[in-house]
Amino acid sequence: MIELIGLRKNFEGKEGRVEAVRDVELKIKAGEIYGIIGYSGAGKSTLIRCINLLERPTAGKVILQGEDLTTLPEKELRNRRKKIGMIFQHFNLLNSRTIYSNVAYPLKGSGLTKSQEQEKVRRLLNLVGIADKENAYPNQLSGGQKQRVAIARALANDPEVLLCDEATSALDPKTTRSILKLLKELNQNLGLTIVLITHEMTVIKEICDRVSIMEDGRIIESGNVAQVFSSPKAQTTKEFIDTAQNRDKIFDFLTEEANIFDIRPEDVLTRVSYTGHAVGAALISEVSRRFSLDASILYGNLEILSHVPVGELLVLFRGTASNIEKGIDYFTQNKLQVEVIDVEYITRKVSA
Ligand SMILES: Nc1ncnc2c1ncn2[C@@H]1O[C@H](COP(=O)(O)OP(=O)(O)OP(=O)(O)O)[C@@H](O)[C@H]1O
């Protein structure tokens, strides 16, 4: 559906060249929701704006349904762009126009009669759940309602792709969820392909099928969401997941309350994660019996990410070093991922 090949974008500024996007290769399938996550300055906005050529790449190809958009003459490009809708963090509505007029705006020159236009605008407003607001002005609406208008406007030309540039970043968590739910419905009901950029892993977790992590203009890791959550490779990916899963808070809690858990320096603290049907908790009692280990579960979490169960447990092992090693080996043989966490800093803090 969309293929980015060797995509590069440089900006020449007073302080020299900024390589905002570097040699990105990406394939996005029709009908999927693809997320791109990265910290501020990673190059996400530039990358997504290259997909509809709002930003002209310095090098590389942007293939949409087999056609390289970078080689198209301006007029043809304008036509193709109609098949790519876009929404933004700050909605970009025309404040002097009514909601109806905002949504009707992209239909100019489409050849629709007045009544066809009216039928279409009302259908779109209905689709995004704000049919009663057609005569209101943007500044009379909440952020979530404005984003709904922006989505209706983006859908006016029946696009096949919707690009979302930090579309929920200005919204509170509850409104964010309702907008993400709407995007998911549009994806399922209209077969709309969605590409979104965000700095929040919770957004990725909520609706994306696949994800790429961006850093310094490059894609450093990609995969389906369940896979990336259960076995992240890059440090930055781990950081995003830690934040999304509240792990920072869990570790703070463990540190502050280490006395309650009676964590000792010789204990081995592990993060055990699993996907699909591997049942983590059952294997823990088995390992405990087989290798004479005390295994305490300090934390557990199970989520369903794109229909795949992804489980995570923090398990504290106590026993001989060689038995703990055997226990960990047993887990990995049974397709559980195990990461040993340094407990020293926890116990050091407690004894200090
Ligand atoms: N028009 C521009 N001119 C010069 N430099 C730019 C321009 N647009 C972006 N950059 C630079 O390119 C790099 C990537 O910026 P970009 O906005 O794509 O990142 P981002 O991941 O979307 O971050 P944010 O979420 O903060 O927008 C940054 O160093 C930024 O300063």
- R_g of the chain computed on alpha carbons: 24
DSSP 8-state symbol, 172: -
- Report the distance separating Cα 280 and Cα 218, nearest Å: 34
The dihedral built from the CA positions of residue 62, 68, 69 and 71, taken in this order, carries a sign that is positive
pLDDT of 61 reads: 97
- Look at residue 303 in the predicted model and tell me its pLDDT: 83
Predicted local distance difference test score (pLDDT) of residue 314: 86
At residue 350, the pLDDT reads 42
Q: Determine whether the shortest distance from the Cβ of 40 to ligand 1 is under 6 A.
A: yes
- Cα of 287 from ligand 1 centre, angstroms: 49
Ligand 1 centroid – CA 196 distance (Å)? 16
Report the residue among 7, 14, 45, 163 best suited for mutation to probe ligand 1: largest number of ligand atoms under 8 A from its CB.
Answer: 45
Cα 45 to averaged position of ligand 1 atoms, centre (Å)? 7
Report the nearest atom of ligand 1 relative to the CA of 9.
Answer: 12
Q: Give me ligand 1 centre to Cα 351, in Å.
A: 45
Give the span between the Cα atoms of 317 and 143, in whole angstroms: 48
- Tokens standing for residue 164: 């979302």
Q: Is 45 in the pocket of ligand 1 (CB under 6 A)?
A: yes
The closest residue, in CA terms, to atom 11 on ligand 1 is 20
Q: Which residue ranges form the domains of the chain, and what is each CATH number?
A: 2-231 (3.40.50.300), 245-351 (3.30.70.260)
- The pLDDT assigned to 277 comes to 65
**211-244 per-residue burial string, b: 16 or more CB within 10 A, e: under 16:** bbbbbebbbbbbbbbbbbbbebeeebbebbbbeb
**Ligand 1 contact, 42 CB (< 6 A):** yes
- According to DSSP, the residues that pair with 162 across neighbouring strands are 85, 194
Q: Is the CB of 46 under 6 A from ligand 1?
A: yes
Reported ipTM exceeds the 0.90 cut: yes
Whole-Å CA distances, 42 to 3, 38, 78, 165: 20, 6, 28, 14
CA-CA-CA-CA dihedral for 312, 316, 321, 326, to nearest 10: -30
- Ranges of residues in the chain whose predicted pLDDT is under 70: 258, 277-281, 343-352
Nearest-CA residue for atom 16 of ligand 1: 43
pLDDT of residue 244: 79
How far is the CA of 28 from the CAs of 65, 164, 232, in angstroms? 10, 14, 20
Determine which residue's CA is closest to atom 31 belonging to ligand 1: 41
Q: Residues 181, 186, 191, 197: is their CA dihedral positive or negative?
A: negative
Residues 181-190 have pLDDT tens digits of 999 999 999 9
Atom of ligand 1 nearest to the CA of 165: 22
Of 7, 11, 240, the one to substitute when testing ligand 1's pocket (max ligand atoms within 8 A of C-beta) is 11
User: What per-residue confidence (pLDDT) applies to 352?
Assistant: 41
Ligand 1 pocket member 54 (CB < 6 A)? no
Distance CA 213, CA 221 (A): 5
Bridge partners (DSSP) listed for residue 305: 308
Cβ 345 under 6 angstroms from ligand 1 = no
Q: Is the beta carbon of 18 within 6 A of some atom in ligand 1?
A: yes
Alpha helices in the chain (DSSP H): 44-51, 74-81, 99-104, 114-127, 143-154, 173-190, 201-207, 225-230, 235-244, 247-256, 258-261, 280-290, 321-333, 344-351
Query: Which tokens go with 223?
Result: 């995969």
What is the number of other CB atoms lying within 10 angstroms of the CB of residue 108?
A: 9
The residue count for the chain: 352
CA 7/CA 24 separation, integer angstroms: 5
CA of 224 to the centre of ligand 1 (A): 26
For the CA of 13, the nearest atom of ligand 1: 4
Predicted local distance difference test score (pLDDT) of residue 301:
83
Q: Say how far apart CA 95 and CA 105 lie, in whole Å.
A: 13
Q: Does the Cβ of 148 fall within 6 Å of ligand 1? A: no
Q: Is the CB of 198 under 6 A from ligand 1?
A: no
